[in-house]
């Protein structure tokens, strides 16, 4: 590939050619844990990284490398490395760079697991954590200016799809000498490339939109070679390696990433607009809506607004309990980004680790429903919501 191709061509072709052996047109799954050498000098050269090749599956694997090469191309990065899960990508990246006495600045409503790293694990390692109001750019700038090693962002956020201006924050981070890291899971490389907006590292839970079929766990980090080498080294020793079978499934899913995400964006927009017309719905959170507080920033930095939205309903948890089981075309599950629509209360899914008080502090109502739009026809999804709302309105006084 020349790197001039459009994103849809890259999702199909990028990163694969080197791994197609024996004329295979698809990247083979290499399950071998180790790689044998008759020539002791060659073995040594590969082991010390002087020569290309593989030694042991915890370090590298051809199928996993094909995944890394594809996500690297999609994010326009110099290098990429992979992980067993998105959380492993986040925790290993933070552990690579943060030492006792360091400080990290982030936002209050990152994904619940990430938030737990900030509130529970990093303080235990004597890392100072400052969490700012999400989308409050002046506050983030002021905190970053005091000095920090990392500025960590997630945009759009899980589950209330809040937006932070990556370009502005990258400038603030770099003025303070910080590494700027962005979790791009919700946007996907189809809609947003944080590196081109000035971020140093971009993180993905590959479990979500990248894989897209809810059948494989994975994570990735992309960025400059000298940073990725350090993260790779931490991961190869600490062992949160991506499984080759997962790499294969995610690679296969990524070939249709652009088609899926475009369909999901269109569906999410239609559903968000529909939800705004329903009196049972209290609030709709979707960056594509003009009513979204940071719609203009989203328009500037995203190609489209993503397949994720959330909404709160009158009657709170009681209504949620009645409503969700009535949906025909939705999995009620703790996942997102798949071909099927997935729904779930944030209190049970993304932010189950948090207390009700912590969720309230993050602006997550107990009756908030996260809606991951699948690739079904939006008209059917809307009809499904319509029948479920009608039945709930009959059975609950809201």
The contact set with ligand PLP (CB under 6 A) reads 85-87, 111, 113, 154, 158, 183, 185-186, 205, 207, 217, 219, 350
Residues 75 and 195: beta-carbon distance below 8 Å = yes
Q: Residue 208 catalytic?
A: yes
Of 19, 111, 232, 371, catalytic: 111
The two tokens of residue 349 are: 């899914």
- Nearer Cβ to ligand PLP, position 218 or 288? 218
Min separation Cβ 84 and ligand PLP, Å = 8
- Nearer Cβ to ligand PLP, position 46 or 94? 94
Q: Residue 248 catalytic?
A: no
Min separation Cβ 188 and ligand PLP, Å = 11
| 201-205 sheet: strands from edge to edge | 79-83, 219-223, 201-205, 179-183, 150-154, 103-107, 128-132
Q: Residue 347 catalytic?
A: no
- Nearer Cβ to ligand PLP, position 87 or 265? 87
* Strands, E assignment, the chain: 79-83, 103-107, 128-132, 150-154, 179-183, 201-205, 219-223, 281-285, 308-313, 331-332, 342-345, 368-372
| 281-285 sheet: strands from edge to edge | 281-285, 308-313, 368-372, 342-345, 331-332
Closest to 224 in 3D by CA, of 78, 71, 395: 78
Name the residue number minimizing CB distance to ligand PLP: 86
Of 208, 260, 347, 370, catalytic: 208
Q: Residue 285 catalytic?
A: no
Min separation Cβ 356 and ligand PLP, Å = 20
Min separation Cβ 147 and ligand PLP, Å = 26
Can you give the C-alpha Rg of the chain in angstroms? 21
Min separation Cβ 332 and ligand PLP, Å = 15
Overall residue count recorded for the chain in this entry? 398
Min separation Cβ 79 and ligand PLP, Å = 20
Of 102, 109, 183, 200, catalytic: 183
Closest to 260 in 3D by CA, of 321, 341, 344: 341
Contacts of 367 (CB under 8 A, 6+ apart): 282, 312, 313, 315, 316, 317, 319, 320, 345
Neighbouring-strand partners of residue 332: 343
Instruction: Give the whole-angstrom CA distance, residue 224 versus residue 396.
Output: 54
Q: Which residues are catalytic?
A: 58, 111, 183, 208
């Amino acid at each position: 590939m020349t790197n001039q191709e459009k994103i849809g061509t890259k999702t199909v072709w990028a990163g694969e050619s080197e791994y197609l052996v024996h004329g295979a047109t698809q990247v083979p799954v290499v399950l071998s844990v180790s790689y044998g050498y008759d020539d002791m000098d060659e073995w040594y050269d590969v082991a010390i990284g002087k020569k290309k090749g593989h030694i042991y599956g915890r370090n590298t694997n051809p199928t996993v490398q094909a995944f890394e090469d594809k996500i690297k191309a999609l994010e326009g990065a110099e290098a990429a490395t992979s992980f067993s899960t998105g959380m492993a990508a986040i925790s290993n990246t933070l552990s690579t760079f943060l030492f006792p006495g360091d400080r990290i600045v982030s936002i209050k409503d990152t994904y619940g697991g990430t938030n737990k790293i900030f509130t529970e694990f990093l303080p235990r390692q004597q890392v100072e954590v400052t969490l700012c109001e999400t989308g409050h750019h002046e506050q983030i700038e002021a905190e970053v200016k005091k000095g920090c090693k990392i500025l960590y962002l997630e945009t759009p956020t899980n589950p209330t799809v809040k937006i932070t201006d990556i370009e502005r924050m990258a400038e603030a981070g770099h003025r303070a000498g910080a590494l700027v890291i962005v979790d791009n899971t919700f946007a996907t490389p189809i809609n947003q490339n944080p590196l081109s907006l000035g971020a140093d590292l971009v993180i993905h839970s590959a479990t979500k939109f990248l894989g897209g079929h809810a059948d494989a766990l994975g994570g990735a980090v992309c960025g400059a070679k000298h940073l990725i080498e350090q993260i790779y080294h931490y991961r190869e020793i600490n062992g949160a390696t991506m499984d080759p079978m997962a790499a294969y499934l995610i690679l296969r899913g990524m070939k249709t990433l652009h088609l899926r995400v475009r369909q999901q964006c269109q569906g999410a927009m239609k559903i968000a607009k529909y939800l705004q017309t329903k009196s049972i719905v209290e609030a709709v959170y979707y960056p594509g809506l003009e009513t979204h507080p940071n719609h203009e920033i989203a328009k500037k930095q995203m190609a489209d607004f993503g397949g994720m939205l959330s909404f709160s309903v009158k009657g709170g948890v009681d209504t949620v309990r009645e409503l969700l089981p009535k949906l025909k075309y939705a999995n009620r599950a703790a996942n997102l980004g798949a071909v099927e629509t997935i729904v779930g209360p944030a209190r049970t899914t993304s932010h189950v680790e948090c207390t009700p008080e912590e969720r309230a502090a993050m602006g997550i109502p107990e009756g908030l429903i996260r809606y991951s739009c699948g690739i079904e026809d939006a008209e059917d999804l809307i009809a499904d919501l319509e029948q479920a709302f009608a039945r709930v309105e009959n059975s609950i006084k809201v």
